[in-house]
Amino acid sequence: MSIEILPGTLYLVATPIGNLDDISQRAVEVLKQVDCIAAEDTRHSQTLLSHLGIQTRLLACHEYNEERISPKLIKQLEQGASLALISDAGTPLVNDPGYRLVDQAHAHAIKIVPVPGACAAIAALSVAGLATDRFSFEGFPPAKKGTRVHFFEALKTEQRTMIFYISCHRISDTLVDMLTIFGQQRRACFAREITKTFETIKRCTLAELQLFVDADEYQQKGEMVIVLEGAGKAVDDMAQAEIYLRILLEDLPVKQAVNLVVKMTGANKNNLYKTALEIKNA
Ligand code: SAM
């Protein structure tokens, strides 16, 4: 495969998120031919590059030095050097460093070329079987419980499918909060160790997911993504349940009407009870 590397160009190259075969031929060629590769962790990336037989010079570009070295890299690009940016895994800039460098590259009218490939968020979304017409990437939920609860509260009525990166140290606590805020029946997909030997893809409700994760300590280890169904369907179901409730309340007492609608729709009993009282009192 022959690829023409353009001088003075910044290439954003995706690398595998587990299985080393998940790198495109184009990515390999670009990484071989550029003058230099900026990597989040040079030692980590050296393993991948050695596996691919790539000897290109590496330099570090991470969260802590990006601001400082970006002007230097821009200067090299302006002098005609070609540069590839990679992160430890997946697509650079997706919850990884690089946006400051790319921002400055735009400001200096430097040519920027994407070399797309693996991304855990998109891989998880593709296996989730949840609506994909609109989705939002929410990154890592905050580590502190209070902040995390606020973070999820703000997403309670989000109708788009949501994608979260989850730290394995917080999976159990995070699921407790998700269940409390989004409800037991909200559907989710747990995608763990994607493309690796012990990959898990589990699509179920949040209540089932909590049981699944709590029952098996291996599910609490490794790298993980949760894809969460948007609120749209739950909102629609509640609207339908309310229609039934209004009809039944014309002839039945609150308790009986609520019980019947729960049986018919599976809607949340407490919410229905509150709605029934509001209808009665109106
Ligand atoms: N740039 C990466 C990408 O394109 O997906 C994401 C980097 S972010 C710092 C690391 C997080 O991505 C992990 O904590 C995990 O939530 C998710 N992740 C990365 N690789 C994964 C994998 N193989 N399986 C599941 N989640 C993964």
Amino acid 233: pLDDT = 60
Residue 243 confidence class, pLDDT cut points 50, 70, 90: confident
- Residue 136 covered by a domain: yes
- Residue 3 covered by a domain: no
Residue 238 confidence class, pLDDT cut points 50, 70, 90: confident
Amino acid 241: pLDDT = 85
Amino acid 118: pLDDT = 98
Amino acid 234: pLDDT = 58
Give the position of tokens 């690398």: 15
Q: Looking at 101, 118, 135, which one is the last position of a domain?
A: 118
Amino acid 267: pLDDT = 84
Residues 186 and 214 in one domain: yes
Residues 110 and 143 in one domain: no
pLDDT in tens, 67-119: 999 999 999 999 999 999 999 999 999 999 999 999 999 999 999 999 999 99
Domain that holds residue 144: 121-228
**CA pair distance 80, 92, nearest whole angstrom:** 22
CB of 261 within 6 A of ligand 1: the answer is no
**CA pair distance 56, 42, nearest whole angstrom:** 12
> How many other CB atoms sit within 10 Å of the CB of residue 36?
17
- Residue 2 covered by a domain: no
Q: Which of 165, 197, 200, 201 to mutate to test the pocket of ligand 1 (most atoms within 8 A of CB)?
A: 165
In total, how many domains does the chain have?
3
- Residue 91 covered by a domain: yes
DSSP string, 79-110: TT--EEEE-SSBSTTSSSS-HHHHHHHHHTT-
How far is the centre of ligand 1, averaged over its atoms, from the C-alpha of 193 (Å)? Answer: 9
CB of 171 within 6 A of ligand 1: the answer is no
Measured between alpha carbons, how far is residue 165 from residues 46, 96, 173 in Å?
25, 12, 14
pLDDT in tens, 257-276: 999 998 888 888 988 999 99
pLDDT in tens, 3-46: 899 999 999 999 999 999 999 999 999 999 999 999 999 999 99
Partners of 135 in the beta sheet? 161
Amino acid 113: pLDDT = 98
The whole-model pTM stands at: 0.85
Amino acid 222: pLDDT = 98
Residues 114 and 127 in one domain: no
**Residue 118 alpha carbon, nearest atom of ligand 1:** 4
- Residue 4 covered by a domain: no
Query: What value does the mean pLDDT take over residues 161-183?
Result: 96
- From the list 169, 22, 6, 28, the residue with the least C-alpha distance to 77 is 6
Q: Which residues contact 245 (CB under 8 A, 6 or more apart)?
A: 257, 258, 261, 272, 275, 276, 279
CB of 115 within 6 A of ligand 1: the answer is no
Residues 176 and 79 in one domain: no
Give the position of tokens 């800039």: 93
